[in-house]
Structure 1
């Protein structure tokens, strides 16, 4: 019997030794690789134009239009208007990221606050708020976003408003469902019995506990917002030219794709890598915080 127990213990030790590095490697790949990519994308888009010796994104020389990559003074070449593609790629990424970050911050603050307050108060207030949000969610968000952007006109501010307006209901529902699970827990009841005001309970007890779910959802939402902003800019309803955006860069490049195909390739690749990085980061954070 002792021999069997010893063999079992040795087997468990061997299995733990073989699975632990693999588990660490999996966590490293799932979390730190996309996180590193996100940090690199943010750094290159926001700091790159400041520290790199690149030209301005607009006002290029038409005589230098259509230059191939690795041309003198133009690492990625120039577009059909003579503008430096690398410069427009970085400035366009900055614009797309600014839209995504601002939209998600608005959704987290307003939507998270509405959902948490609705679930905590409950009753008729919760019913009225949720039914109003259900009406917004019932409509196709992309169609309504196009309609709102068309009515407001193309600009970065209007694009942020149109996208934020439809990100609030989704965040509010997640915040509400998380708050409903917390509301009946012993520490919440203890805080209420101690006479803590509702705003203090929301800030000190509810917000830290629903924060991880909202942050992981925001990371996933970044990819959706960036793609939607690119679609609006491609259709001429987002960031208007000559200001660069990955969406309007793709639109401008497809008109002269036979002459300057890289004008479409570079923003498309940047958009793909950025969205995949944020999506993978959001999935890894959600799995990590849910204990999977």
Structure 2
């Protein structure tokens, strides 16, 4: 009997340690991937021997991978594909971070004010946000990008505007739960000003939920930005972005499929890492 039970006992004792390693990997792997992607996109062009992303010679167009001086080959204009992927990733990351940061600050502030003050302020803010949510955001983003013109700044503004309602709703729901906590009542009874309660008590407590949603939103924004650039309404050529690189590569997809494969792979890996990191943070902060 002791011999039969021994493996189960060993497995039971080892499982927490194995689970601990697994939980660390769930957080460390996507975080490491994102650090590598960011380092490659922002520091890579400065330290790697890659040519500029534009200004290539048509005499060197459609070079194969591992050609001299062009690790991933060249595009139809003779531009280095690796250089364009690195610079395009920089553009995509700047758009994703800027959109979610603007949405977090604006939407988080509106949601916290709405949940904390309540009453007429809550009603007005939430009804305005309901109107924004009722509109098809992707269609309006396309319309705004078309009317303002294709540029990185206009893409950020258009996407950030429609990200505010989602952040505001999460912030408001978290603030409403905090209002029922004893420390909130104690702060109010002590005469603490409302702005101080929001900064010292509400903000730090709702930040984890907003950051988690922001991480998940990073991948969504990168996909939408890629779609806008693919349609010619995002970052305009010849400036590189993963979306317009895919659009450019589709014109010769049957002959040179790698022109599409490389930017698609970069976009896939980055979006997947953001989603995995956001989901892991959500599970950690929710106590799972």
Aligned pair partner of 2:209 in 209, 213, 227: 213
Q: Tell me if 1:197 matches 2:193.
A: yes
Please give the root-mean-square deviation of Cα atoms over the aligned residues, in Å. 1.5
What secondary structure does 1:82 align onto? coil
Count matched residues. Answer: 284
Conserved 8 A contact 1:114-1:172: yes
Distance verdict in 2 for CA 1:16–1:199, change over 3 Å: farther
Q: Which residue of 2 aligns with 1:239?
A: 235
Q: Which residue of 2 aligns with 1:270?
A: 266
Q: For 2:216 and 2:51, how far apart are their aligned partners in 1?
A: 33
Conserved 8 A contact 1:80-1:260: no
Conserved 8 A contact 1:112-1:172: yes
Q: CA deviation at 1:258?
A: 3.0
Q: For 1:51 and 1:259, how far apart are their aligned partners in 2?
A: 32
Q: For 2:63 and 2:255, how far apart are their aligned partners in 1?
A: 10
Q: Tell me if 1:143 matches 2:139.
A: yes
Q: For 2:53 and 2:216, how far apart are their aligned partners in 1?
A: 29
Aligned pair partner of 1:66 in 40, 62, 65: 62
Runs of 5+ unmatched residues, structure 1 = 1-7
Q: For 1:140 and 1:42, how far apart are their aligned partners in 2?
A: 32
TM-score (norm 1): 0.94
Q: CA deviation at 1:196?
A: 1.0
Q: Which residue of 2 aligns with 1:18?
A: 14
Q: Which residue of 2 aligns with 1:53?
A: 49
Q: C-alpha offsets along residues 113-133 of structure 1, whole Å, 9 cap, x if unaligned?
A: 000011101001101110110
Q: Which residue of 2 aligns with 1:176?
A: 172
Q: For 1:32 and 1:141, how far apart are their aligned partners in 2?
A: 33
TM-score (norm 2): 0.96
Aligned pair partner of 1:162 in 158, 163, 179: 158
Q: For 1:216 and 1:83, how far apart are their aligned partners in 2?
A: 37
Aligned pair partner of 1:82 in 66, 78, 81: 78
What secondary structure does 1:47 align onto? helix
Q: Which residue of 2 aligns with 1:5?
A: none
Q: Which residue of 1 aligns with 2:25?
A: 29
Runs of 5+ unmatched residues, structure 2 = none
Aligned pair partner of 2:148 in 135, 152, 155: 152
Q: For 2:126 and 2:114, how far apart are their aligned partners in 1?
A: 8
Q: For 2:35 and 2:179, how far apart are their aligned partners in 1?
A: 36
Q: For 2:255 and 2:10, how far apart are their aligned partners in 1?
A: 61
Q: For 2:7 and 2:51, how far apart are their aligned partners in 1?
A: 63
Aligned pair partner of 1:124 in 97, 120, 123: 120
Q: For 1:68 and 1:39, how far apart are their aligned partners in 2?
A: 29
Q: For 1:140 and 1:270, how far apart are their aligned partners in 2?
A: 28
Aligned pair partner of 1:253 in 244, 249, 255: 249
